[in-house]
Each structure stands twice: as structure tokens, then as C-alpha cells.
A = this chain, B = another copy of it.
Amino acid sequence: MTSDSSRTRAHEPREVRRAQILEAAFQCFSESGYHAASMNDLVRASGLSKGSLYWHFESKEQVFLALFDAFADDYFASWQALDDGQRPLFEVIAGGNELAIRRLLAQPGMMRAWIEFLAHPAARDRLAVLYRRCRELLEDLLERAMERGEMKRLPSAAVSTLLIGAAEGILLQASVDPEFDPLAHWPGVLLALEGGLVA
């Protein structure tokens, strides 16, 4: 009576099921990317039925969007945790990029899904917001570092754009070329930046 898992299933509260679906979705998207992972794959991976998926999420897109939001929130939280008042600001700045690189590279499929998502019209707003948030955070860190005299005075908007671009470019090159080792290049990039940016 307690567990006849084969036929039917206990009704679970919203959040439990959503988490379960999201976990399966992460698995599927990580493996095959957004397009290649079908809703039937999610059905298999979650162990739920299609009807259930569509009860909890409006569409495939919404599933991915939820996943994306979770990823973004988690990323920003980890990044801001670096800014503990102890660490030099330049390390916080560089650390944000390094974090992004390490996270996305750890899940190659997720990187692919991310890229596909860049091309997905419905995702633009979300991504625009994310990039803005990154730029704002970076600009704030840069301004503070400049005020403290930790860095040369330079247009912080441009430098933040450059930093985001550098991380992203490294990720793209790495995602496409297995012989390209992204973190081997990273210290050199920092060195180049420090040569110019750090007082």
C-alpha cells in the first residue's frame, strides 16, 4: 500500500515536482542541448508522465527558462560571496569570470544549451538582463577598486565589457576546440590585464 511505484503515484506538492522535473531537465539539456532534448526525453528522465510535465510547466521553453534563472541566481550568489571585504577587489573581479568559466565548462552540454539559448528569440530579454547585471556588478567593483587606488583610472563600462567578452570568448573557443585549454590561457589574460589595469 505504501509504495506501488509501478502504476500510480502519490500527489506531491508543487515545489517538489517542479524540482524533480528541473533536475531531469538539467540532466537532459546537459547531455544533448536544448533542441536535441525532446520532451519525451524529459518524461523518461523524470519518471513522470507527459501530462504531469505540462501540468507543472507551460512549455519546454518555460522549463528551460526556469533552469536558466536558477543557474543565474546561483551564479550571482557565488560571485557576490567572493566580495567579502577581505579579498582584494581585483581578485573578486577576476574571480567572477573564472567562476563562470569553471561552471559552464563542467557541463559541456549545458554550455551548448546556453549557446542555443543565445539564438532563441524568447530568451533575449532574460539574457539582456543577465548581461546588464554582470556589467553593473563589474562596473561597481571596478569603480571601487579605482577609488581605493587599486587600479588605474579607466572607463569602467568599457573594461567590464572587455572582461565579460574575454570570459565568453574563452568559453566559446573551448566549447568548439577540444585542444584549446581555457584555463591555461586565463592567467595570461589576467597578466595582460594587470599589466594595463592594475596600478
> Which A residues fall within an 8 A CB radius of B?
33, 35, 112-113, 115-116, 118-119, 124, 127-128, 131-132, 152, 154-155, 157-159, 161-162, 164-170, 172-173, 175-180, 185, 187-189, 191-197
Complex CA distance for A158 and B169, rounded to whole angstroms: 12
Q: Is the CB of A131 within 8 A of B191?
A: no
Q: Is the CB of B176 within 8 A of A127?
A: yes
Interface centre among A35, A115, A118, A155 (most CB of B within 10 A): A118
Shortest beta-carbon distance, A99 to chain B, in Å?
Answer: 16
Q: CB within 8 A of A128: which of B164, B169, B176?
A: B176
Interface centre among A124, A180, A196 (most CB of B within 10 A): A196
This protein's copies in its complex: 2
List 5 other contacts, CB 8 Å, given A118-B176, A166-B169: A154-B195, A155-B191, A159-B188, A159-B189, A196-B196
Shortest beta-carbon distance, A190 to chain B, in Å?
Answer: 8
- Chain B residues with CB under 8 Å of A164's CB are 169, 173
Shortest beta-carbon distance, A72 to chain B, in Å?
Answer: 14
Output the nearest chain B residue to A188 by Cβ-Cβ distance. Answer: B158
Known: A166-B166, A197-B192. A175 touches B118 (CB 8 A): yes
- Chain B residues with CB under 8 Å of A128's CB are 176-180
- Chain B residues with CB under 8 Å of A178's CB are 128
Q: Is the CB of A177 within 8 A of B131?
A: yes
Complex CA distance for A162 and B188, rounded to whole angstroms: 9
Shortest beta-carbon distance, A165 to chain B, in Å?
Answer: 2
Known: A119-B119, A195-B196. A169 touches B173 (CB 8 A): no
- Chain B residues with CB under 8 Å of A157's CB are 185, 188
Q: CB within 8 A of A166: which of B115, B124, B155, B165?
A: B165
